[in-house]
Amino acid sequence: MDDIDDHIDEVPIIGHDGSINPPTDEQDSNQTQQQSSFTNYQKLTFIAMCCTYLSSMMSFSIIAPFFPTEAEKKDVSHSQIGFIFSVYNLVCFFASPLWGKLIPVIGTKFTFLAGCWVAGGCNVIFGFLDQLESGTQFLVFCYVVRSLEAVGAAASITAAMAIVANAFPDNVAVVMGWLEVFSGLGFAVGPPLGGALYQLGGYKLPFIVQGGIVILILVVNIFLLPGQDSNSSKEMGSFRALFRIPAVWPLSFAILVGSAALSFLDPTLSLHLQQFNLSPTVIGAVFLLVGGCYAIFSPVWGYLADKKRILRLMIVLGFHAAGVAYLLMGPSSVLKLPNELWIICMGLGLLGISIGCGLVPIFLDLLSTAFWYGMPDNLATQSIVSGLFNGMFSLGAFMGPFAGGVLTERYGFPVAASYFACANISVVFVIGLFGVWEYQCGYGRRKPRVKEETLKDDPNERSPLITEAPSWE
């Protein structure tokens, strides 16, 4: 128990409202010095991770402008085409936790590089599927290759998140915020790049170029990233211990809803905007409102999360604003607003800003919570937390378009948007009610722990509800 006490004393204690207790002058000075500059290793690691996030999202989105047309030529139905897109996130959901368990054993660098190699190779292979016979043969190989690509992407992104947590212990949220910029940039650049390459060289060229980019980044990262410390523990992390921590469940629900809120618009927004007789170029620009605002503000939210540590408060405010944004996008009949394009655009911009505020702090919150509850501050814990975050995000990205398409087809876009507004508001209630429970029951990072020596010296000092982290093993 003394080891646990010593470990907890080194972890910043975050209150039920998300605020962190002020550090001592010496701690504040050390933290300021650490945050003022990065080492060369951190800079190289940051560059490698940015390239990976950029290429990963480009690989996912590059097929959007031309693949549906090519698949129709192969006698593939619209629903089957949709599943070719969505199977990527479904496989990532199952693969990410598995990689989170295996990373400490096989190493972060190997997992990261092997994932990039598989994803890049599958990109190239996908470019030759047009040589297959139409119908079942083409469809089955599309599913298989896309699924293998997702396995590789899950490995590289999960390892990347573990590398970030290990390399930037004092700036996790800031770095994750910047990585979301490159993730959004890759998602935005992929479709126009794919369309341009398709027009230039046909079906194969976009996949060969994108696969080549991924493999080139792989070769560069071989020299940028150091190997795993030979003295580090090879023990795998425990998902059982992680899921026995109460805070993990509401935070996982928040990741799921936030990811679904971002991906809901993919199959639904363009159809909703057709009523305004907009050109495809203008519709594309409207889509950029969400991704652009999300990318621009993510580093801001990351800096705020690391600097102020008001994590739970940021999550609540972010999802509350996202619920309002969805009501504006309909616009919902609850607001009794006219169906005007500028109102919809205002809702899209607000969604991009607010959903980042809700999502960016969660990874840091999960890490801090796991450490506080006594899980070791090592690669094993960082890996399973990364696997959990990436898995839940992928599940949300799978469920968002599916639920959005079904609700829009049955009830129309305004009602579907209202349902998603309720989903975002439900996160506010879940996190808020959990915070009240956590405070009343004495679980979680409510206040500084007061040691017995302090209580003996000052009998008027109020004793906390808990004086040590509960053991969940």
pLDDT digits (tens, 9 = 90+) for 360-406: 999 999 999 999 888 998 889 999 999 999 999 999 999 988 888 88
In this prediction, residue 468 carries a pLDDT of 40
SS3 content of the chain, % helix, strand, coil (to 5): 75, 0, 25
The predicted-structure confidence for 281-311, as pLDDT tens digits, reads as follows 677 778 778 888 888 999 999 999 999 889 9
Question: CB under 8 Å to 245, separation ≥6 — which residues?
Answer: 369, 370, 373, 375, 472
pTM strictly above 0.95: no
In this prediction, residue 290 carries a pLDDT of 86
In this prediction, residue 315 carries a pLDDT of 96
In this prediction, residue 229 carries a pLDDT of 52
Structure tokens that stand for 58 in this block: 């480009």
Question: CB under 8 Å to 132, separation ≥6 — which residues?
Answer: 74, 138, 141
In this prediction, residue 247 carries a pLDDT of 92
Query: Given the structure tokens 């605020």, which residue do they identify?
Result: 19
Q: Looking at residue 14, what DSSP letter applies?
A: B
Q: Domain 2-21+39-225+236-457, what architecture? A: Up-down Bundle (1.20)
**Dihedral sign from CA coordinates of 147, 153, 156, 157:** negative
Alpha helices in 225-279 (DSSP H): 239-243, 248-263, 269-273
In this prediction, residue 455 carries a pLDDT of 34
Regions in the chain scoring below 70 on pLDDT: 1-36, 226-233, 280-281, 442-473
In this prediction, residue 288 carries a pLDDT of 78
Q: Please answer whether residues 189 and 209 qualify as being in contact, where contact means their C-beta atoms are separated by less than 8 angstroms.
A: no
CA 365 to chain centre: 13
Query: Given the structure tokens 């439900």, which residue do they identify?
Result: 426
In this prediction, residue 69 carries a pLDDT of 82
In angstroms, the first-to-last Cα distance of the chain is: 13
Q: Is 349 helix (H, G, I), strand (E, B) or coil?
A: helix
Question: CB under 8 Å to 447, separation ≥6 — which residues?
Answer: 13, 15, 21, 464
In this prediction, residue 65 carries a pLDDT of 78
